[in-house]
Amino acid sequence: MRREQLLAIAVERFAKHGYHNTKISDIVADAGVAQGTFYWYFKSKEAIGLEIIRSGRERLLQVIAKGYRSQSGSVSEMVEGSQRLLKDIFQFADENRYFMELLLTGGEDESIRRASKETRIDMEEAFRRNIERATELGMLPGSMNLHMRAALLVSLIEGVIARWLFGPIHPNSDLARLTAEELAAETVRFEFFGLLGI
């Protein structure tokens, strides 16, 4: 309970103000407990940071795992499947925006930077396998290299999430007002057909 409370406060502050700009004294003040109490639940500031990444990573990878392609299908089935997966990811990001912000923009502390990086590599790897499977099933052309495709796709996803949830975003843009579902639709369209697509 208390532990979860501290975690929640910490992610939010880390995301909003950055790791170094967040003092343990801020966290405990928000939680209404004494400074020492923090150290009953966490070994150190670094530890709480890693804990945040670790627990978020697990949940994020679970969401992605659920969307894995297993069987062949038509193009429209593939598009639908992708759209469902992206919607789930965007929903997860929305519900865990502070974790997501930390994951995508954080990493002031070396070990947290590393943990974030690993999580993002895992995510990219999951998408690579997904694309690989689809290519093997003949649903995607084999002309582009897999890593490149995965990198481009994850760039798209990460960039869209970042702009959707915590900028940078052009003031006139209505991107931030889209639902997860709408965002997924637009993203998937671009993913499969590019700027020239339908």
Decide if residue 116 touches DNA (CB under 7 A): no
Q: Does 46 bind DNA (CB under 7 A)?
A: yes
DSSP string, 77-91: HHHHHHHHHHHHHHH
Which partner in DNA, a copy of itself, none is near 45 (CB below 5 to 8 A by kind)?
DNA
| Cβ partners under 8 Å of residue 161, min gap 6 | 89, 90, 93, 100, 104
Note whether 51 binds a copy of itself by CB under 8 A: no
- Whether the upstream peptide bond of residue 171 has omega within 30° of 0, thus cis, is no
- CB 75, min distance to DNA, A: 52
CA distance 75 to 52: 38
Residues 132 to 151 in contact with a copy of itself, rule: CB under 8 A = 140-141, 143-145, 147-151
Beta carbon of residue 95, minimum distance to DNA (angstroms, whole number): 26
Q: State the minimum distance, in angstroms, from the CB of residue 91 to DNA.
A: 32
User: Smallest Cα–Cα separation from 138: which of 91, 66, 71, 61?
Assistant: 71
Structure tokens given for 67 = 């969307």
Q: Which residues 64-93 are close enough to bind a copy of itself by CB under 8 A?
A: 75
Q: Report H helices in 18-96.
A: 24-31, 35-41, 45-66, 75-95
Residues, the chain: 198
CA 116 to chain centre: 10
Residue 79 · residue 140 · CB < 8 Å? no
Q: Which of residues 16-45 bind DNA (CB under 7 A)?
A: 20-25, 33-41, 43-45
Is residue 13 near DNA by the rule CB under 7 A?
A: no
Does the protein bind a copy of itself through residue 47 (CB under 8 A)?
A: no
Residues in the interface with a copy of itself (CB under 8 A) total 61
**In the complex, minimum distance from the CB of residue 55 to DNA, in angstroms, rounded to a whole number:** 19
Distance CA 34, CA 26 (A): 11
Q: Which is nearer to DNA, 5 or 91 (CB)?
A: 5
Q: Given the rule CB under 8 A, which residues bind a copy of itself? A: 17-21, 75, 105, 107-108, 110, 113, 116-118, 120-121, 124-125, 128, 131, 140-141, 143-145, 147-156, 158-160, 162-163, 167-175, 186-187, 189-198
